[in-house]
Amino acid sequence: MTRMSARYRGECAVCGNVIKVGDDIDYARNIGARHWMCQPFIEPEGAIWISIGEGYGGQPFSVGQIVHNDPRRVEKGEPLYLYVLHAKKSYVRDDGFSFGVGDESGYVYSACTRAATDEESAPLRAEEQDEAARIAARLALAQIERRIRDDGEYPLAPDTTGLTVILDKRTIYGGGYAWATQPGYVWHLDGNGGDGDNWSSNNVGSSIGRRLPDPDGSLTATVQRLLVEAGLKATDDVARVVALRNSLRYGFYDTPASGGAEEFARQVRAVLAALKTLSKRASAEAVVEAWGDRLPDNWMTILTAESAN
């Protein structure tokens, strides 16, 4: 091995990355060139090699990374979580499908690993559990939505007092959906404000709203919880700010029955008070910015004044 400055562009025999002209390299005729930092990897006994092609969604591995082993290999007795000791990649120019690239050409990423300790795999396990909980919550929400579609009420001119949108996935094109709550009810709203939509079906703003009675508030609590668990909604005060903004945007506070501007003022103050207790997640200034020109001039003044306190 000779340490020298690279005269040609090439590929590192250890890490597989590019060697640029002028890089410091170790070179030997029979081994080739490698970055001077890239010392040859010595594989420990019992190491587990894994690889995945770019065409199968593979990404480069990195040393110290914790990865989930292939379930079929786990079934054969290999550990579930692996710690990457050494990573490499090789480029396949032709016939990539025969070499596991998953495409005509591309990279195959490989890693030499060992079993991860419980401590090492804890963050990834937590992430996977969260993901499983998210999926379960989304399924549970879909079931409640199905119940509302099948058995829910579709009142033509509902009293929308206290109706609060808690998740708004309606689009600027008039489609999408939203979840809303109201004392005694849970609502599911289908956006129906598009150009080709039949607006005469709309019973809640520019949406078709269906509701299920919720006399004891348990369904409301369940939906609130599921939206957070499904990762669709932030918690606490941030969510309240967004819900208020959405209520304003869709005009629920325009009607005298809903309490009008005074009720809105009360809620804005409550939210601002809550915001002050938040650490750095949101500031009252951010609320002003988020609401922007949807706020009448005098509300802007009130918000700005209150957020300065």
| Cβ-based nearer residue to Zn ion, 108 or 248 | 108
String marking each residue 10-39 x if it binds Zn ion according to CB under 5 A: --x-xx-------------------x--x-
Q: Give least dist CB 89 to Zn ion, A.
A: 11
Residue 87 near Zn ion by CB under 5 A: no
The residue range among 6-14, 50-58, 141-149, 261-269 that interacts with Zn ion, by the rule CB under 5 A, is 6-14
How far is residue 168's CA from residue 186's CA, in Å, rounded to a whole number? 14
Q: Taking the CB of residue 112, how many other CB atoms lie within 10 A of it?
A: 20
Residues 37-56 that bind Zn ion (CB under 5 A): 38
CB of 111 to Zn ion, least distance (A): 15
Nearer to Zn ion, 61 or 253 (CB): 61
Of 4-12, 106-114, 122-130, 175-183, the segment contacting Zn ion by CB under 5 A is 4-12
- Closest separation between CB of residue 76 and Zn ion, Å? 33
Binding to Zn ion (CB under 5 A): which residues in 134-193? none
Residues contacting Zn ion: total by CB under 5 A: 5
* Dihedral Cα 110, 111, 116, 121, nearest 10 deg: -50
Q: How far is the CB of 19 from Zn ion (least distance, A)?
A: 7
Kindly report the backbone phi and psi dihedral angles of residue 27, in degrees, each rounded to the nearest multiple of 5, phi listed first: -135, 140
For residue 108, give the nearest of 55, 148, 174, 71 by alpha carbon. Answer: 55
Asked if residues 102 and 109 have their Cβ atoms less than 8 Å apart, the reply is no
Task: Determine how many CB atoms are found less than 10 A away from the CB of residue 92.
Answer: 20
Distance CA 242, CA 162 (A): 16
Q: How far is the CB of 26 from Zn ion (least distance, A)?
A: 10
> How near is the Cβ of 41 to Zn ion at its closest, in Å?
11
d(CA 129, CA 305): 44
From the list 8-16, 58-66, 111-119, 128-136, the region that binds Zn ion by CB under 5 A is 8-16
* Nearest distance in Å: CB 248, Zn ion: 57
Considering the complex, state which of residue 89 and residue 170 has its C-beta at the smaller distance from Zn ion: 89
Query: Measured from the CB atom, is 26 or 168 closer to Zn ion?
Result: 26
What stretch of H or E contains 188? strand 185-191
How many CA atoms within 13 Å lie on the side-chain side of 187?
29
Distance CA 55, CA 106 (A): 7
Q: What's the CA gap between 54 and 89, in Å, rounded?
A: 10
List contacts with Zn ion (CB under 5 A).
Answer: 12, 14-15, 35, 38
